[in-house]
Amino acid sequence: MENVVLTIHLILALLLIGVVLLQRSEGGGLGIGGGGGTMSARGAATALTKLTWIFAAAFIVTSITLTILSARGGNTGSVVDASAPAAEAPATEDPATTGGGLAGTDLTLPGPSSDAPASPPPADAPVAPPANP
């Protein structure tokens, strides 16, 4: 039943779009070109307006029908409730003490180490050649 109503709903949506685009607007619109015909411009506008109202009313009725059908069949609750329950998260410590994220990251520059000299050598100091292995 829901698939039939949904198919009718989609067809009505396409028909409604087509009828609205066929109507002549202030700027000319996408209406079929002028010229003679069995219907006058006034008669065509009236017919398209009535057809638009009919399609719009039917579209709203199918929308409400789909909502009712969907709510009637949806006794399972929320989509979030239907998903598998997540495993319990382990207890976490204070982020500042665990080192995770930016809270525990040390953003200061490293201090001098035993491998590097405490200060750069003076510019006029002789440079030792690299050791040959």
22 lies in some domain:
yes
Domain that holds residue 62: 1-26+44-72
Answer for the pair 34, 80: CB distance below 8 angstroms, yes or no.
no
19 lies in some domain:
yes
117 lies in some domain:
no
pLDDT tens-digit map of 96-106: 555 555 655 66
The list of the chain residues with pLDDT below 70 reads: 25-45, 74-79, 81-107, 111-118, 120-121, 133
pLDDT tens-digit map of 12-37: 999 999 999 988 765 554 555 555 44
Specify the pTM: 0.46
Answer for the pair 5, 69: CB distance below 8 angstroms, yes or no.
yes
Collapsing DSSP states into helix, strand and coil, what is residue 70?
A: helix
Specify the number of domains making up the chain. Answer: 1
